[in-house]
Structure 1
Amino acid sequence: MLSTIGIPGLVIILVIILLIFGPSKLPKLGRSIGESMKNFKESTKGVLDDDDIKKEEKL
């Protein structure tokens, strides 16, 4: 789905986000999204590491 958006679609989405949140809140929004992605990656890394350990134990 994301591969069909293209550059014009992304520009329209960014303009709509700018109109909804305003320029003063965009840095806070970006920071919170970045922190959420970081936390998600850290938590999935722990799960993936646990799966690797279980696979090694079976061998």
Structure 2
Amino acid sequence: MSQTANQKAKRIPLGKDASTKRRLSKTRRHFRLRKKVSGTPERPRLVVNRSSRHIHVQLVD
């Protein structure tokens, strides 16, 4: 039942691993979608940047 000092040192905080995975998933979704979407002067592309406080929107042709 006892653990050695090496086993305790190898643990990673749960939040750090989860946030890394979430950020990686977001990046993959972004590139997958970006391959399919392109803006034209007739129909510009909508870019949305989201933070904890604000939402910023841009139209890009």
TM-score band, normalised by shorter chain: 0.3 to 0.5
Larger strand share, 1 or 2: 2
Larger helix share, 1 or 2: 1
> Which of the pair has the greater relative contact order for Cα pairs under 8 Å at 6+ separation?
2
Higher-Rg structure is 2
Taking structure 2 as the reference length, the TM-score comes to 0.41
